[in-house]
Structure 1
């Protein structure tokens, strides 16, 4: 894991955008794994700004989202399809036919839909860069605690903590789903690179468990310890419970020198 700690959330977003931008410039047909939630919004704003400035094109990009609620129509303002359209897809030159979410409509078998999503990712050549946030309980995607580290795209029941955390996004009279389709942990670990963003003190314990705790299904994000190319971007608040911060800063200085000479990616 490469741990990079920044002063504020804006710096996290700007640095995340650099990783995405360099990949897309090196590989115009890159396959991106995308996340929803409040954390990546600032990243998407950076990417939209780069596109409008003529610095970035999504014309040949394919995307796969981590998850989607069960029982919500794509045009529902609470759906992750709507989220992605509003925050990214509607503002760049991407072909929406090349943007995929793990959906499961009424009457469809979620097990079959999960396998179909895995096959789509495989046919696209696999995910080059997977964007992640992290839940306060350590979830990535909607892989809640106790999720198998070998899991693939499937239906998951959301924990009460996740439902409570997300309730602020729903009006009192709105339907809040308790089920979702999500990429599995093994699916995420198949990505060539993983870029996880975490900001705010409420994520500090989960970040500590992910980075310094045991690899455990009780903290799904801890599985990223086993990924060869995981980059973790944190603001000071999210990093506040980490020991050895001096080392992380020093190591990042050394990596920066290498990246300046050879680029951020070593296999593109």
Structure 2
């Protein structure tokens, strides 16, 4: 195993390794899907902890771990395994590359067992520096161009796959991750703090009061709306969103690291509220 990852707190692999060591006892004999598997770093780590690893990647040519087969898989078209087969799925630095993220969440749901764990890590699009960069130039950081066809097409080899390996074109924030997960049958089990974004720390004293006040006012406004929806249901949804929005750790976190739990099969998910839905002949 490459120690440069496990000993560098700036590397997300350091934090994934730390988390997996914390839950090592829960991994013994469990089936874990590693997707995208990349070079095989996390697959090797899981094997060392006694897990049964299934590795997949759009370009398995990069996979270097001997003794483990990495299968080619375009997750938007489906992972080639049966339903409800995995106890855990790790999507490390992958979600920001997928064009149809809701379909990806539904596919993750399909292959996970009931109460299975989904771990997603991705560059933070919710810290203050990222928010500011988006306002300025719709870019990931203030030193980067917005997503474009020069910098953000990382692999396009028709002889290997018809799918393009996109760069960070589909960066996604905590609130969007939350709703996509809910639509696919997951709930948030834990949002882990990784490390400090220094740019966000500089912006924090100026922007946080505005974010806090505006978030609280918006929460109160929406709690007064839709009187036919139960107070408890509105609190359940809006308070979770509020906590995400005003938590200083999320606004200062350099990287996103979320642990989800499969609550139900995606086909069984329903959010039908007659009080909210408009009929087709109703004016908007």
Q: Shorter-chain TM-score: which interval?
A: 0.3 to 0.5
Which structure's CA Rg is the greater one? Answer: 2
Q: Could you say which structure has the greater relative contact order, defined with CA pairs below 8 angstroms and 6 or more residues apart?
A: 1
TM-score (norm 2): 0.38
